Amino acid sequence: MRVIMLGPPGAGKGTQGERIAGRYGVPHISSGELFRDEVARQTEAGKTLQRYLDAGDLVPDDLVLSLIMDRVIAAEADGGYVLDGFPRTLPQAEAAAKVAREAKMSAQAVLYLEVPPQVLSARLADRGEGRADDAVQVARHRLEVFTEHTRPLLDYYTKRGIIVRIDASPPVDVVSAAIFAALDRIDG
């Protein structure tokens, strides 16, 4: 199973990505976790990442690609991947698609987790207590950045015919059931 998770901050990509990975036995590759790990280890990449994460801005495409693509290619040996938080821009999507085509490991589905703005705001406020990137102002900015830079990916993946829209506002288990039903049809 090869899945890309798209959705605004607070849509549940991490939670659902872990569940999908567990069900289908593939690695869950979270750009956010990868970035936070680089920051915690105080690598050169981590020091650069910290500035973008603190501001709620997108990390430059070249840095994202350098950190993620090797993990994606390695994941194919494990039967696929669940990409959570990558790609976030059209250039990232196009670069990833090129590598995936060459490696014969293109995504089978792009799950777009749709959530009304008021639900997103509440979720980000709830989890923002422990994460600097979810402070109220930064969370608001992250939603604006998503709208500007990531929403264009919906058109890109719709044209490729692999977008699957999921209402991610119900309880977690209900969302998971909808995702599994959609992916089972693709995987079957």
Tokens matching residue 164 = 């699957």
How high is the pLDDT of residue 130? 57
CATH number reported for the structural domain that contains residue 75 in this entry: 3.40.50.300
How many distinct structural domains can be found in the chain? 1
How high is the pLDDT of residue 42? 95
pTM for the structure as a whole: 0.86
| Exposure b/e, 8-42, CB count within 10 A at least 16 = b | bbbbbbeebbebbbebbebbbbbbbebbbebbeee
What is the pLDDT tens value at each position of the chain, 188 positions in all? 999 999 988 899 999 999 999 999 999 999 989 999 999 999 999 999 999 988 888 899 999 999 998 888 888 788 899 999 899 899 999 999 998 888 888 999 999 999 988 888 777 777 655 555 546 677 777 778 788 877 789 999 999 999 999 999 999 999 999 999 999 999 76
Which residue segment(s) compose the domain that 141 sits in? Answer: 2-187
Distance (Å, whole) CA 70 – CA 103: 12
